[in-house]
Structure 1
């Protein structure tokens, strides 16, 4: 080495520092690259993405060749730096050289390339794969030996190799990705995606029409009353029951009997012939499963029943879709306001209003893990049927019972406590 000109040694040292920067940046770029964008580009024929995806399929081998190359050039560069320092400054230079060389390597071969690669991983990973791929073939025996020893040591420590594809996102992680998408996804589409993810947390009881509010045909009622209900109904499908909504015997599609209603004489037997067998839905069914069940059964309406077979309410396909896209119904009955803003800033709310609907309309967070309606929430909290003017506080919400009828809260005034406690 003493016969080698200093200029050549300096040139070799600069090349080695550049090579070290390449390996350091490649490592960070490969690790930091967005795997999901990478898969998308690879499926659409991006050559660089395909190369990187193939290299990342065996991360242990990729890191092996990068670290082998990085350690080799770093050690070789340190040796040359020590020789130059010894030749120029003697023993003093040999003592100072490690400090100076470490600073140079940190700046030019570690921090700068890794920071750049972390900010622009694709700009580093795609071109780097052109060189890493042949290096992986060239150093295959050495990489295989190093990877084997490393994996064996990990197994001794109780760390098992993970199969490919275990980096799938959980629903909560996917929700975080959607929330942080920013301008990449329009706000409305972002909200719809989050609503779809939330379907598994919501059951049919949360959005069903309760049995007390079911509008249906009592086949035992007077025929004229039945026909009048059918002519004035704003719903296209009506449940048919005998005496009590708990005894539903069919679902009648009014469009199918429109011609029948124009005849001067109609009998109940003809109405029953046009009705179809009811489709029953067990309570506790998550909305994402019920959406698929509706599709498989080719039905748009179901009767929610409990474990004893008693009717709890009605669930429709429209109700589930509105959980995703928001309210879109033009039904005048459905658009009746259960939540009325008062002059003092409070809200007058119907006791049968669903807590989810109140939260969604007012951007509140009333507890929904128990009762589904405001009446149920108040009764559970008080453990008895209150009298009018009874006031209570549930979390950050002040509630005043305004009207009680038939053992249930008909109307209540709600107000959210401000941060100052008022």
Structure 2
């Protein structure tokens, strides 16, 4: 090689620099490519994408071949540079030649091609995969030896390359980040819906159920006159039906089945005629995740479930509408709920709240962060903090909030004024 003409040596050096840039950009492009976009392109029939997926199936072989080729051309470039320096300037020029070659390689074979590949991985990986396939096949014997030795060394450090984690699969929190960072690709309203779907797994039926003290139902031990008053005045389309006590639930009644009762003489209506249209109840455990309950409603073709605890005691009811509203937000108008507003604004960051209001609803409505890992209602949270039902209207602080009980009964706190404290008020 030392006998070759200097112009030819410069040409070979330039070619080696180009090859080094090819290997460097190939490595960055292949490793930086979006795997989900790649799979989508492959599913659409893109042959280049399928070729890249095939190469990425064994990243140790891919990296082994790229790095071997890159180091080979870099070393050959160093040898040719040394020969050129000796031929043109003598022994004292080799150090300067090494410095110049380092700068040239950094600019033209490392930083620039890797930056381009990192910014546009598909534009680099797709066309370069044409060349990488035959190159890797040619270098396969050497690459196999290199991979065997490197994998053996990796096992000494407790790493098994054949059992590498599958980075293609995202954890729920990582998927939330993907949705959050989608930007203009997903409208804000749709982003919220997707995030709510992910939260269904964390939310249980107990968190959204209508508690038993607020359940509006039909007690078949009552008179027909009272039952008809409930049927005519209710704002709901489905009512739980029980006998004597709500724990003795016998089913649910859809009001479309009793439309014939609404007109005419109530004396013609009997308990038996009402019972005839009662559907068998669907019992739901209070700890059931909403994602599971949504599927249960779908399988059972049902829209209402009776929520029970571990002892079989009825705790409340949950409906399909309640779960759907957790995903899309409030999409129905409930007259009964509108008439009994649970949260009333008194001033900035100060609200009068019913004791039976769910902590989760308060946090969601006011963007607060009251603790949700214990009691589910404001009354439960306050009595847990006080360790007793207060004897009178008391005031206390809990974290960043001030509670002032305004009305209570012997059994629970009915209303409390809750204020979120500012930094000045905390101190």
Q: Shorter chain as normaliser: what TM range?
A: over 0.9
Indicate how the Cα distance of structure 1 residues 126 and 419 shifts in structure 2: closer, same or farther if over 3 A, else same.
farther
Alignment partner, residue 407 of structure 2: 403
Match of 1:342, SS?
strand
* 1:282 counterpart residue number: 285
Aligned-partner SS, 2:310: coil
Q: Distance in 1 between matches of 2:347 and 2:190?
A: 34
- Please name the residue that 1:7 is paired with: 7
Q: Quick check: 2:250–2:281 contact (8 Å CA) kept in 1? A: yes
> 1:3-39 CA distances to partner (integer Å, 9 max, x unpaired)?
3111111111111111101111110111111111111
1:230-253 deviation digits (Å, cap 9, x = unpaired): 112111110011122122111111
Task: Provide the C-alpha distance between the structure 1 equivalents of 2:193 and 2:425, rounded to a whole number of angstroms.
Answer: 34
Contact 1:398/1:414 (8 A) holds in 2: yes
Unmatched tracts of structure 2, length 5 or more: none
Task: Report the counterpart of residue 368 of structure 2 in structure 1.
Answer: 364
2: CA distance between counterparts of 1:131 and 1:42? Answer: 19
Aligned residue number for residue 231 of structure 2: 230
Q: CA deviation at 1:48?
A: 2.1
Match of 2:318, SS state, is strand
Matched positions, count: 422
- The residue number in structure 1 matching 2:180 is 179
Q: Given the superposition, is the C-alpha separation of residues 52 and 344 from structure 1 closer, same or farther in structure 2, using an over 3 Å criterion?
A: closer
CA distance in 2, matches of 1:9, 1:187: 60
Aligned to 2:425: 421
Which residue of 1 is the match for residue 17 of structure 2?
Answer: 17
Contact 2:349 2:420 (C-alpha < 8 Å) held by counterparts: no
Partner residue in 1 for 2:46: 46
Question: Which residue pairs with 1:28 in the alignment?
Answer: 28
CA offset at residue 202 of structure 1? 0.9
SS state of the match for residue 163, structure 2? coil
Classify the secondary structure of the residue corresponding to 1:220: coil
**d(CA) in 2 for partners of 1:151, 1:344:** 63
Aligned pairs for 1:234-313 (under 5 A) are: 234-264=235-265, 265-313=268-316
113-122 or 302-311, which moves further after superposition? 113-122
The offset of 1:164, in angstroms, is: 8.2
Report what 2:58 is aligned to: 58
Q: Aligned to 1:393, which of 381, 390, 397?
A: 397
How far apart are residue 46 of structure 1 and its match?
Answer: 2.0
Q: Which runs of 5+ in 1 are unaligned?
A: none
Could you tell me how far apart the structure 2 residues matched to 1:317 and 1:270 are? Answer: 27
Question: Which residue does 1:323 correspond to in 2?
Answer: 326
CA contact (8 A) 1:204 1:283 kept: yes
Q: CA separation in 2, counterparts of 1:154 and 1:95?
A: 36
Deviations 1:146-202 (A, max 9, x none): 223322332333212236855300111111111121222111111111111111111
Task: Tell me the residue number matched to 1:351.
Answer: 355
Distance 1:343 1:101 in 2: 71
1:60-90 deviation digits (Å, cap 9, x = unpaired): 1111111111011111111101111112221
Tell me the SS of whatever aligns to 2:307: strand
Counterpart residue number, 1:203: 204
1:168 matched to 2:169? The reply is yes
Matches within 5 A, 1:104-143: 104-143=104-143
CA distance in 2, matches of 1:162, 1:177: 26
Secondary structure of residue in 2 paired with 1:128: helix
Query: Could you give the per-residue CA deviations for residues 304-347 of structure 1, whole angstroms, max 9, x where no partner exists?
Result: 11111111110111111111111111121123421111146511
Per the alignment, residue 99 of structure 2 pairs with 99
CA distance in 2, matches of 1:118, 1:30: 9
Name the SS for the 1:241 alignment partner.
strand
1:259, CA displacement in angstroms?
2.1
Check whether the contact 1:214–1:245 (CA below 8 A) recurs between aligned residues: no
Contact kept in structure 2, 1:21 and 1:110, CA below 8 Å: yes
Q: Distance in 1 between matches of 2:27 and 2:348?
A: 62
Match of 2:386 among 382, 388, 393: 382
- Aligned residue for 2:247, secondary structure, equals coil
Please state whether the residue corresponding to 1:239 is helix, strand or coil. strand
Report the counterpart of residue 71 of structure 2 in structure 1: 71
* Contact persistence 1:387–1:401 (CA under 8 A): no
Q: Distance in 2 between matches of 1:393 and 1:125?
A: 60
Question: Which stretch of structure 1 is more off in the superposition, 152-161 or 296-305?
Answer: 152-161
TM superposition shift of 1:414: 1.2
Q: Root-mean-square deviation (CA), in Å?
A: 1.6
